[in-house]
Chains A and B, each alone.
Chain A
């Protein structure tokens, strides 16, 4: 029987990785990811998990080890944040085009400078285009479930891609929540052993990671892009099967009180819980406000998102990332380009909030909705607005 326990989300994620029977775990510590890898190394040390925990000398080495491990045919997991994720950056592009499955939980954190250990999404947005499948968790249960789902999808021979599960640093990673930890038997049913089509094996020698001359490079990248697009089908299928076994159903885009809504907030990650509270409060005031939460970020669920908008007239997109000098935040830009010149598309306003651990409160969400409503009447001068900046 699965058990429901009060547990720190990081520990629960580590338990999920254990239930997934991960085999190689190269990791380097960085706040707020530390509790995940500490607990994993404990599980290995206690013999609860039969795996190799590689205490590498840097995140770049962690990702490099992951490539070797996956290529050799082992189920591979790592975890990182911010500066660590960026140190991996050179390598992150490689397992994805090489189609090496692995799972990484990123405990999202702000990028230096100034150095900050607190939460926003700048670290992962820098890595937006690395060609990994990416999901965002809203709460602890989802973090656990998405981690199991990630292994299943990444290793599916029809997919064969690395997978990042994003969880908000501290606001998710370090809180204690009631979480249902699945049964080993059920996890085994959901997640068959990793059997890659190709691996490094002297009995069947292959060359992995060759030079891509101009005559083949484009095709290699297009093949990767096609694999990403095709992956959506298997992501959805795995969520269906997950629901059958575990009773919890996940969708690429989650709608909250969107029926008859005129204004929709658009969020990713754990601030969505506060956003729901704000929506409830605004609904109580008679405002026709709803919420769209993007769970699947890559491949972007274009159809599902378009459908989820319904008849809304205004979208207020909240980014947790401020790219200086850009047109707007990355999620805002994505949605603007998705809906550009679509007949009847809503007006889209882009907001940036919650940088470096700044709380995004119910009041802030109300402010965002109010602003979006005003902007819909009178076009704002700027293409985005940063919310909650102190005047002094």
Chain B
């Protein structure tokens, strides 16, 4: 087990940190699941943190100069390289602390990016930072498309979903590929901590983020983040949709601690996938055949995950 976890008692609804490190007044759309998740991430981490943000919705909506929503040190350099920027920050702090130029007190380094920044264009930078073993955590806020540029498909866009670059048409039914398994790619780097999380289960999310920060070395948390604007869903239903994604096994919650898979929430009585798909306009064009296929594939993927968890 990870020794750093022993002293951590976990967040409870009663002892949630009150301080808002990501303050309100930012420019996110109503019902934005990403900014909701990010707020929880920041609450879990507390103020001794340095944030390295990739280009994307969260960077744009929090930092239109001269305004900022950030009450912690924050830096944005570009789209694909947040993990490398974080590597630089972490290395700088290591040598400066060693030389007595800054206090020895631990500061968490958070790199955060969307699914595009993480699973597509930034994969190499993340891989490099994981492989080198920097002490930082990477949080992916996965809204399943390039939202900031107007809802283009990414490798994390789910099968069948309509985006502006995976439009359904006479010869297409939307996204033709299955969602890329980015957490598995993180696991393949043999880093000590990987987890998936959802803002619908906020205590679980915050505890995972805290563990990711506590663990020595790189850690990765992949957070499902509903986007009403890009998904064509009702803003007030974001949390409900996030919960449905878990209950239908579409987005399972688990941890991988030192390579061992642990399911956070076993779904014994899953709801039908169709119930989830119905909540979003991006799936509206799908016929029964496609929905059946998605159901079968979701079941199979979940089985795979269970087997991984059982192996331990």
Q: Interface on A for B, CB 8 Å cutoff?
A: 23-24, 26, 50-52, 54-58, 60-61, 64-74, 76, 90-91, 94, 193, 200-202, 204-213, 216
Contacts and interface: CB of A to CB of B under 8 A. Distances in A.
Contacts of B87: 26, 54, 56, 61, 64-65, 68
A263 to B, nearest CB: 47
Which 6 residue pairs are nearest across A and B when measured between Cβ atoms?
A: A68-B88, A57-B128, A64-B84, A65-B88, A74-B92, A72-B92
A54 B101 CA distance: 20
24 contacts: A23-B92, A23-B95, A24-B88, A24-B92, A26-B87, A26-B88, A54-B88, A57-B128, A58-B128, A64-B87, A65-B84, A68-B88, A68-B90, A68-B91, A71-B85, A72-B92, A72-B93, A202-B73, A208-B76, A209-B63, A209-B76, A210-B65, A210-B76, A216-B66
B2 interface: no
B63 A202 contact: no
A90 B78 contact: yes
Nearest to B107: A202
A202 B47 contact: yes
A113 B52 CA distance: 36
B166 interface: no
Contacts of A204: 73
Nearest to A74: B92
B99 interface: yes
B24 interface: no
A68 B78 CA distance: 11
Nearest to B49: A202
A210 B80 CA distance: 16
B75 A61 contact: no
B233 interface: no
A56 B85 CA distance: 11
A68 B75 contact: yes
A91 B76 CA distance: 11
Contacts of A76: 88, 92
Contacts of B73: 200-202, 204-206, 208
Interface in B68-98: 68, 70-78, 80-81, 84-96, 98
Interface in B89-144: 89-96, 98-99, 101-102, 107, 124-125, 127-128, 131-132
B23 to A, nearest CB: 12
A313 to B, nearest CB: 48
Contacts of A65: 84-85, 87-88, 91
A208 B74 contact: yes
B50 interface: yes
B110 to A, nearest CB: 12
B209 to A, nearest CB: 17
Given A56-B84, A211-B59, A91 B78 contact: yes
A142 B41 CA distance: 50
B48 interface: yes
A210 B88 contact: no
Contacts of B90: 68
A64 B98 CA distance: 23
B94 A212 contact: no
B199 to A, nearest CB: 24
B186 to A, nearest CB: 16
Contacts of B262: none
Nearest to B81: A64
Contacts of B48: 202
A60 B89 contact: no
B63 A205 contact: no
A58 B88 CA distance: 14
Interface string B44-60: 00011110100000011
Nearest to A56: B128
A316 to B, nearest CB: 41
Nearest to B103: A203
B64 interface: yes
Given A70-B88, A210-B63, 15 more contacts: A52-B92, A52-B95, A56-B87, A64-B78, A65-B84, A68-B89, A69-B91, A73-B101, A74-B95, A202-B49, A205-B47, A207-B70, A208-B76, A209-B76, A210-B76
B214 to A, nearest CB: 17
B102 to A, nearest CB: 7
A23 B131 CA distance: 21
A363 B47 CA distance: 67
Nearest to A71: B75
Given A61-B81, A65-B84, A68-B92, A213 B75 contact: no
A64 B86 CA distance: 9
A229 B96 CA distance: 32
B75 A24 contact: no
Contacts of B63: 207, 209-211
A205 B62 CA distance: 15
Contacts of A60: 80-81, 84, 125
Contacts of B89: 68-69, 71-72, 200
B77 A205 contact: no
B69 to A, nearest CB: 9
A188 B152 CA distance: 53
Contacts of B107: 202
A52 B71 CA distance: 29
B91 A91 contact: no
A83 B72 CA distance: 37
B77 A211 contact: no
